[in-house]
């Protein structure tokens, strides 16, 4: 008996699949970000980390990972690189010897000030091909979907938790 044939799969089915489109869009977004920011030697993740540290001075690595929905293991090397570039500094927490608190340096604040308008241009470029109404619709749907799927990811966003604990600790 011959083995059952594969169902008739076309690449077009792949090109219309959500997973493929999300991967492709992420690829394109990173590409545009790096192109706009090539003068700055900052990756999208490093940028997000800088913003979060600026917004929450004295945050620790674990809470930072929750605030930007970023894997804690990977974050270690991201922090190392930001520290090597002298954009952030780590200070041991006096009340908990396990924790190292993160702060922007002057260099970090300076590069943030310069790069923010550039990043905003990059963000705009990602949606530029769409009509303004469609941009709004897409962003609205994505915000919804990311929020409703938050628990599905391995590193759920925990913005509020992180803030609460920070307030409790400091």
- Are the CB atoms for 102 and 58 separated by under 8 Å? yes
Q: Which does 15 bind (CB under 5 to 8 A by kind): a second copy, DNA, none?
A: a second copy
Closest distance of CB 82 from a second copy, Å: 16
> Which among 47-55, 57-65, 75-83, 89-97 is the span making contact with a second copy, rule CB under 8 A?
47-55
φ/ψ of residue 97, rounded to 5: -70, -10
Tokens of 62: 């674990």
Q: Which does 77 bind (CB under 5 to 8 A by kind): a second copy, DNA, none?
A: DNA
Maximum pairwise Cα distance, the chain: 73
Within 13 Å of residue 63, how many CA atoms lie on the same side as its CB? 23
Q: Which does 100 bind (CB under 5 to 8 A by kind): DNA, a second copy, none?
A: DNA
Options 33, 46, 50, 119; binder of DNA; rule CB under 7 A: 46
Q: Which does 61 bind (CB under 5 to 8 A by kind): a second copy, DNA, none?
A: DNA
Task: For the chain, give the number of residues.
Answer: 170
Can residue 86 be called a binding residue for DNA (CB under 7 A)? no
Any idea which residue has 């590069």 for tokens?
Answer: 111
Options 50, 53, 63, 88; binder of DNA; rule CB under 7 A: 63
Q: Which residues pair with 90 in a beta bridge?
A: 102
- Are the CB atoms for 68 and 79 separated by under 8 Å? no
Where along the sequence are the contacts to DNA (CB under 7 A)? 23, 26-27, 30-31, 43-46, 60-63, 70-74, 76-79, 81, 95-100, 153-155, 165
């Amino acid at each position: 008996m011959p083995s059952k044939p594969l169902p008739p799969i076309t690449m077009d089915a792949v090109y219309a699949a959500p997973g493929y489109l999300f991967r492709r869009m992420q690829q394109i977004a990173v590409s545009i970000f790096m192109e706009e920011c090539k003068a700055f030697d900052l990756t999208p993740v490093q940028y997000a980390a800088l913003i979060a540290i600026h917004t929450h001075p004295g945050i620790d690595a674990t809470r930072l990972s929750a605030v930007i929905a970023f894997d804690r293991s990977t974050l270690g090397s991201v922090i190392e690189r930001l520290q090597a570039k002298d954009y952030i500094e780590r200070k041991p927490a006096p009340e908990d010897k396990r924790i190292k608190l993160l702060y922007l340096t002057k260099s970090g604040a300076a590069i943030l000030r310069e790069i923010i308008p550039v990043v905003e241009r990059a963000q705009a470029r990602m949606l530029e091909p769409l009509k303004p109404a469609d941009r709004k619709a897409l962003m609205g749907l994505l915000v919804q979907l990311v929020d409703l799927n938050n628990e599905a990811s391995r590193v759920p966003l925990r913005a509020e938790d992180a803030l609460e604990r920070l307030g409790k600790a400091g």
